[in-house]
Amino acid sequence: MTLTDGSAVTFTAGPWEYAQWEQYAARKGLMNDNTPMSFLMYIAYCAIHRANWPEVEGFEQWSQKIADIQMEDPAEVRPTEAAPSAAPSP
């Protein structure tokens, strides 16, 4: 994720973060199918602030600082990079 100040932030989300999204979405009447960006941003918000939950700065304020966000699918296998060729034998 990239913030508007240009800094990059990485995070890992698990069951707790998804449960927090479910509670937030239920309160707001949201579904991740029709609000995918809110879903991703709230998951990131929870993951980043998990150690100090609940965060003093609310999601709505915090989300204004996000310039870009991408989430990797753990089931998605990254392509293997080709290893450098060994020098030919003489």
Kindly report, residue by residue over 39-51, the tens digit of the pLDDT.
888 999 999 888 8
Phi/psi at 56 (nearest 5 deg)?
A: -65, -45
pLDDT over 90 at 22, yes or no: yes
Tell me the pTM: 0.68
Of residues 36 and 88, more confidence is placed in: 36
Give how far Cα 73 sits from Cα of 54, 60, 76, Å: 26, 25, 5
